[in-house]
Amino acid sequence: RGVIVRNQAVLQRGVNDDAQTMVALIRRLSYLNVQPYYVFVHDMVRGVEELRTTLQSAIDLEKQVRGSTAGFNIPAFVLDTMGGGGKRHVHSHEHYDREAGIAVFISPVVRPGRQFFYFDPIHELGVETQGRWADAEERAAIIQAARQAAGS
């Protein structure tokens, strides 16, 4: 029988955000009989902005590692939404504006009727977009546009 051991890794820019490194991690874990369970997009917390990746990077990486081993050994690429929306698969967004760096997720079972946001690292956005985020009115307009595009 034994015990099932699962790995939950955090996607970190410059550490494990390329296909070669992620495939090596998945294969090594599998060799050790550890199930590669989740790869988390880095939480939006202070002090680690330089380690965060964009949502698009996570989506692209998931596509690149799929097929490198048996399907049951491919981890789910997820993010934990702010505000209690729970874990969401990276590709399950209702709307994602790559230029503005904002994604909208819903969680119909956990929090019906609410929207949850993920924001790409500001330093990964274009200079003009960074300026828009710095302006309170522009920021509100970006968020409102994303809400509307997601269907609310």
Both tokens assigned to 49: 């902005």
Helix, strand or coil for residue 31?
helix
pLDDT in tens, 18-62: 999 999 999 999 999 999 999 999 999 989 999 999 999 999 999
Distances (CA, A) of 8 to 20, 30, 118, 119: 18, 13, 20, 21
Tell me the whole-structure pTM to 2 decimals. Answer: 0.92
Q: Kindly state the average pLDDT of the residues 85-94.
A: 95
pLDDT of residue 152: 66
Domain that holds residue 95: 5-149
Phi, psi values for residue 31, rounded to 5°: -60, -35
Domain count, the chain: 1
Whether 37 contacts 7, CB under 8 Å: yes
